[in-house]
Amino acid sequence: MVSILTFIVMVIVGAVVLGFIAVSAMFLIWWERKVAAHIQTRYGPMRVGWHGALQSVADVIKLLLKENITPEGVDKPVWWLAPFFAVVPSVMVFVCIPFGNLFGIDLIPRDLNIGILYIIALTSVCVLGIFMAGWGSNNKYSLLGGMRSAAQIVSYEVPLIISVVTAAMFAGTLSMQKIVEAQKGMWFVFQPNMALAFLIFVISATAEINRTPFDIPEAESELVAGFHTEYSGMKFAMFFLGEYTNLFIVSALAATLFLGGWQGPFLPPVLWFLIKTYGIITVLMWVRWTLPRVRVDQLMGFAWKVLTPIAFANLAVSGWVLLR
């Protein structure tokens, strides 16, 4: 009896999470187009709904109705599985993202005691989907895009994890909920070394999710969209969904680890969490539409010669501060 109840709760939580992911991704696509347009003194989508609010819905319907084209010579199993590998890990990450609490219920599907480790492990799997897409497409550009993505993730994972470790050290726990609770008095970002860690985290997270200025895996001008060149219709939409879900995840992580998560005065915790997360997302969009794409060698050089040494130095200083 208990197991059936648990199962029903699981299904409901899963449905809520999936619904949130879909709605959030559609909102983010619309929001990104609006931010981009206004930065370029345009309006962006204006026709479908109020200021184009239903544009993403129309796009999703269009993508659903499109023909599923399988190009000749693709490695079929790999090619078919790649979009799912790009999305499923990002969905799984939502298990440990603390959304705050509503009416005394903690809005976190399961507060694992190794939460942050679990999230880092799963976000690294996302690149597998991209690499599979590149490999399976039977296309030079896609393969190059996939390879670049793998190289990029391997490089930027190092400073990212080190900055996460800094936050975990100060919180004294790996559980996401407890990390938020550790910031009750003061958000981590207000300490100088943690502010640096936050900066490193945001920069490497931008690289992890392949966003401009680090979007070399899908560089349109060099690789004709890279790993998703051969994909169309719903499979392409899956990559898009994964991309925007990852964007939400890294911003939620940054908010949770450094900006106090759902902590905040007056407003309900959920609202605080969403404000912080979408605020970081907007800043990432702002950066995206400001900076040009970096070259591959610049990208690698930046990760290994700038971010990683600074992250390590920051970790050492933080350790010294803790032990003092």
Which CB atom, from 60 or from 203, has the smaller least distance to another protein? 203
Give the Cα separation of 3 and 70 in Å (integer): 42
Token couple for 35? 């931010």
Which CB atom, from 140 or from 305, has the smaller least distance to another protein? 305
For the CB of residue 253, give the shortest distance to another protein in the complex, in Å.
22
* Strand ranges, E, within the chain: 101-102, 105-106
Dihedral through CA 144, CA 146, CA 150, CA 153, nearest 10?
110
Which CB atom, from 21 or from 307, has the smaller least distance to another protein? 307
For the CB of residue 47, give the shortest distance to another protein in the complex, in Å.
9
Which CB atom, from 35 or from 82, has the smaller least distance to another protein? 35
For the CB of residue 93, give the shortest distance to another protein in the complex, in Å.
29
Give the Cα separation of 161 and 289 in Å (integer): 26
Please say whether the beta carbons of 150 and 129 come within 8 A: no
Beta bridge partners of 105: 102
For the CB of residue 114, give the shortest distance to another protein in the complex, in Å.
34
Which CB atom, from 42 or from 295, has the smaller least distance to another protein? 42
Question: Which residues make up the interface to another protein (CB under 8 A)?
Answer: 35, 37-43, 46, 286-287, 289-291, 305-306
For the CB of residue 48, give the shortest distance to another protein in the complex, in Å.
14
For the CB of residue 38, give the shortest distance to another protein in the complex, in Å.
5
Taking CA 245 as the corner, what is the angle to CA 30 and CA 293, rounded to the nearest 5 degrees?
75
Token couple for 271? 């609202």
Give the Cα separation of 139 and 145 in Å (integer): 10
Residue written as token pair 């993202």: 97
For the CB of residue 306, give the shortest distance to another protein in the complex, in Å.
6
For the CB of residue 40, give the shortest distance to another protein in the complex, in Å.
7
Give the Cα separation of 198 and 265 in Å (integer): 22
Which CB atom, from 52 or from 115, has the smaller least distance to another protein? 52
Long-range contacts of 319-324 (CB under 8 A, 24+ apart): 319/169, 321/193, 322/169, 322/170
Give the Cα separation of 119 and 107 in Å (integer): 17
Q: State the chain's maximal CA–CA distance in angstroms.
A: 63
Which CB atom, from 7 or from 43, has the smaller least distance to another protein? 43
Which CB atom, from 71 or from 301, has the smaller least distance to another protein? 301
Which amino acid is located at 236 in the chain?
F
